Chain A
Amino acid sequence: MRQFLLYISIILVGLLFISRLFYLQVYTSSEQSLFEDNAIRKVYDYPKRGFVYDRNGKLLVANQPSYDVMVIPREVKPLDTVEFCNLLKINKEKFKEIYQRAYRYSPRLPSVFIAQLSKEDYAVLQEKMRKFEGFYIQKRSLRHYQTTIGANVLGDIGEVNHAIIRKDPYYKMGDLIGKDGVEASYEDVLRGVKGIKFIQKDRFNRNIGPYKDGIYDTLPQPGKDITITIDADLQAYGERLMQNKRGGIIAIEPSSGEILAMISAPTYNPNQLVGRERSKNFSKLYTDTIAKPLFNRSLLAQYPPGSPFKVLNALIGLQERVVTPQERFSCRMGYYLGSRRLTGCHHHTSPLDMTNGIAQSCNAYFANVYRRIIEKYDSPKKGMDVWSDHVKSFGLGNYLGYDLKVGSKGRVPDGDFYDRWYGKGRWVSTYNISNAIGQGEVEATPIQLANMVAAIGNRGYFYTPHIIKSIENDTVDSKYTTPKFTSIDKENFEPIIQGMYDVYNKGTASFIRVPGIEICGKTGTAENFVKIDGVKTQLTDHSIFVAFAPKDNPKIALAVFVENGYWGSRFAGKIASLIIEKYIKGEITRTDLEDWILKHSLEHEYAKPYSGKPFKINGETTLQVIE
């Protein structure tokens, strides 16, 4: 027995070792790729981020160098701190504080000593840098906006967060990524591909040379420049007109779906989100929950479309053959069901045919048309579904599919919607007659309305609106060059377009005609409500205007929303006509109209719901004038 003790010990120890090895190397091992190996330092070489140009080739976004002073505490030799502090414009206490913080982080690793020096400070410092051992300057690249406009279009870049890093392993801690606007939409194109160097570290975290002589290293690929569809001058002009107002403007080129201007007011200067002040400014913008400058109203805000929606109902009426352009409907200052008035109307001649119904924006006319559409089929549900499909073919009620990150679906009700609301079969067309005039359950964003107008201007088709015009050495997604057809036949558009043309000639916008340009438009005035202390309170109506021009082969289609601007041609119509004139003529002939817009502010309207006092709306108020 005795001779077996050592035999057994040897075999047991052998088995113990192999099981321990199995535990360490197979069971708990995370076989590492080079990227996860912390014995290998990964040094990234960041490529130049692509520039952004406007449609006329004007540079909007470039890059600027920024200089960080770095320190490796162990390598710092005694220095003339007074001179050094003067150069960096800090005092000695601050110097000590930063130095100690860097030392605590790591004596051997570089830390940022002073971030983002100005070019002037850098120039002075650079010459004397050799005197300060242990300090060096690291160049970084920041965005440089060549303009103060278009913050909501251009967007910004910021450091990636953990969620992004987890989702996309390309990004590492501290990398920059497009957060909004085209920076986010075209991130993959603009950023390029960073290069990487693998460096072997030793246990003191020092570099001891390239890993495997650099065979796995890659070179950076520079980002591509992009040209966007925005007309910078038009964008700037629109933003200027929208000062002291809230709302959104979208202008589209109907023949291509290119977005000419995308204005959201209030806005901010994109340079605010660059450099040392970025986080301070960002939280200032972010925490403004009343004006919401970061909220892109032209894409996100859902408003009741109001009267511009009437033209769609006219088109559907023609397509469904429930009305002819010549048929007249009478109006007795509203639409009556028996003796009950369902909608009111304003003063105009009566009865009206379709062209004049649009031009005068008669509520009763469209209530009649709407009822006929819904009641054409056996059940109101069927009629509602047909109506809904027609509306949706104009891109309403769902995401348009444009190349910007944010958006809203808007709302277009169908038969199921009212079945859920009232109960199956327990409703008829008069229950939702407000849809006839763009109130009620219908909601749309400015870009959806602009797109709808573009489709009307094109007589029945549209291109998905988009912001990208061209990418350096690359092609634009083909979905932006294929037309999408609406469910309305081409010949049905002419009477409607004539009506929209008459809006300017003899209708609700006749006083803001632009000499020499044939504009087709439609005013809108949308009632709106908020809850103040739990009480539903009506505010001054939204001023809405949609238009395209010229009448034939339109060059621009646009939708303008001005929150609480009252009737359609009061603010929105004027702004629309100025933008059209600016775009088509390149100059403004009606400077008095321009002055009027610039001088009038709606800030007092926006303050009302927060004032805590009872307030008057619509016709009972007076406009605020800026001196």
Chain B
Amino acid sequence: MPRETHKYFKFDWITIILFLMLVGFGWLNIVSASHTEYTIDYFDFSQSYGKQLIFIFLTFGLIVLLLAIDAKFYERFSSIIYIISMLSLVGLFVFGKNVNGATSWYGIGGMTIQPSEFAKTATALAVAKYVSDLNTNIKTFKDQIKTFIIIGTPAVLVLLQNDTGSTIVYGAFFFVLYREGLPKIYLNIAVALILISVLSLKFGGIITSIIGASLIFGYYFLNRRKTSFVLTILAFIATVAISFSIKFFYNSVLQPHQKDRISLWLRLEKDPEKLQRMKQTFAYNLNESEKAISSGGLTGRGYLEGTRTTGKFVPEQHTDYIFSTVGEEWGFIGSSMVVILFVLLLLRILHLAELQKSQFSRIYGYSVASIIFIHFFINIGMVMGLIPTIGIPLPLFSYGGSGLWAFTILLFIFIKLDSNRINEW
């Protein structure tokens, strides 16, 4: 096997090349989205793109370090890494710095670090460690609860810091647990919950109840021998209860900006005057980003030629809305390439994860794929108006040192684990 012939070939170069392509292309788009002068000095470190260049160079050092550490280290120290990470999140309540309404940053000198980005990696290690333990059986309720606590702790901590987007990312672990044997009922309940909420908000409780009832009773009469009547009735009652209480949840638990975003997504507002006002206020970003993407056409305006990008029509374009730059300047062909690159990267990680012989590596690899997938889905879906606005970055692409390093660490720990899989046999 070539992997055994030379020590450098044991790393999965396909993943590394995909990683480099995404980071490189991402940086080009950050240049476009953040430059202010016509002549671009790529090494102007006062500009966002210059800073990002430093971050990228530092990343290479980080990669060497990550790959140099013994693979066993990550498994053995996963609990400690997790605990340190949780402490850093708790510490934010005391030392945190508030940026854009979220208390998620530590200010160190001129730099800011967002510990929640690194907490994902720590949680992935902890989950991999716990679930792969011989004493853990994910099919038992007790161990399910323990796993949920491991995942839920950072999720709740970032939620308290007003960083809802990052909380949702922890939902990624559902894919991992499901792969490892979490009962199907969780999947069913999760899908049912999402469907009922969306339907009741859009069409009201009565219609949702009727649809729910026909589906539940239809299922019951088709599978009468195997299905308990009591459970069927309970499912129906639950459906009705959720259908009618979701409005209450929507109105009193959600914050106004979250309500607006959902209302925009589900097109709940019919009044044209209010719609117009929405377009000027909170829907502005989405509106501009869709227009920018749309104006790219098939082949795009060309690099640095996007007028909406140059005119800074899309706020936060170099961070969360970086994909709209790709859309405007590289067009359908370029944007589709980015989507395909992400899909290839994700499939490659999954493929490698399935090849792992140790359960820890497999679970960790699965976590990496799931976390990147959720970011990819939410970010690009948001920028194109497919899902409500949730502010999380596009992995490897968006501007920001913490994010880049966090994803690099997440990914390269897995590459290191993967390179080590022959030794474990």
Contacts and interface: CB of A to CB of B under 8 A. Distances in A.
A25 B179 contact: no
Contacts, number: 111
Nearest to A203: B313
B327 A25 contact: yes
Interface residue tally of chain A, by bracket?
Answer: 35 or more
Contact of A202 (B181, B295, B312, B354): B312
B181 A24 contact: no
Contact of A37 (B307, B315, B327, B354): B307
A14 interface: yes
For A14, A29, A40, A209, the residue with the greatest tally of chain B CB atoms inside 10 Å of its CB is A14
A16 B378 CA distance: 13
Contacts of A39: 307-308, 310-311, 313
A592 interface: no
A202 B317 CA distance: 13
A329 interface: no
Contacts of A82: none
A200 B346 CA distance: 39
Interface string A213-256: 10000000000000000000000000000000000000000000
A410 to B, nearest CB: 54
A37 B301 CA distance: 12
A79 interface: no
A14 to B, nearest CB: 4
A350 B160 CA distance: 121
Interface string A197-218: 0001111000011011100000
Contacts of A2: 178-179, 181
Interface string B339-352: 11011001100100
A21 B335 contact: yes
Given A2-B181, A25-B298, A10 B350 contact: yes
Nearest to A11: B343
A22 interface: yes
Interface stretch (B82-90, B224-232, B366-374, B416-424): B366-374
A290 interface: no
Contacts of A20: 384, 386
For A13, A24, A29, A213, the residue with the greatest tally of chain B CB atoms inside 10 Å of its CB is A24
Contacts of A18: 336, 339-340
A200 B306 CA distance: 11
B294 A5 contact: no
Contacts of B314: 203
A17 interface: yes
A13 B335 CA distance: 14
A5 B310 CA distance: 41
Contact of A6 (B313, B332, B373, B380): B373
A208 B298 CA distance: 28
B297 interface: yes
Nearest to B305: A212
A425 to B, nearest CB: 68
B296 to A, nearest CB: 5
B320 interface: no
A473 interface: no
Interface in A1-46: 2-3, 5-7, 9-11, 13-14, 16-18, 20-22, 24-26, 28-32, 37, 39-40
Nearest to A13: B377
B311 A25 contact: no
Nearest to A208: B311
B179 A211 contact: no
A62 to B, nearest CB: 40
Given A10-B346, A32-B295, A37-B307, A25 B335 contact: yes
A16 to B, nearest CB: 7
B394 to A, nearest CB: 12
B57 interface: no
Interface in B278-309: 288, 290, 293-298, 307-308
A599 to B, nearest CB: 67
Contact of A5 (B179, B293, B307): B179
Contacts of B331: 25
Given A10-B346, A203-B313, 19 more contacts: A6-B179, A6-B366, A6-B373, A7-B350, A9-B175, A13-B343, A13-B377, A18-B336, A21-B335, A26-B298, A29-B297, A30-B294, A31-B295, A39-B311, A201-B311, A202-B312, A203-B288, A203-B311, A208-B311
Shortest Cβ-Cβ A-B pairs, 9 listed = A31-B297, A39-B307, A14-B343, A25-B332, A39-B311, A203-B313, A29-B297, A24-B294, A17-B339
Interface of A: 2-3, 5-7, 9-11, 13-14, 16-18, 20-22, 24-26, 28-32, 37, 39-40, 200-203, 208-209, 211-213
19 contacts: A2-B178, A5-B178, A5-B179, A6-B175, A7-B347, A10-B346, A10-B350, A13-B381, A14-B343, A17-B380, A18-B340, A20-B386, A21-B335, A24-B290, A25-B327, A39-B310, A202-B312, A203-B313, A212-B38
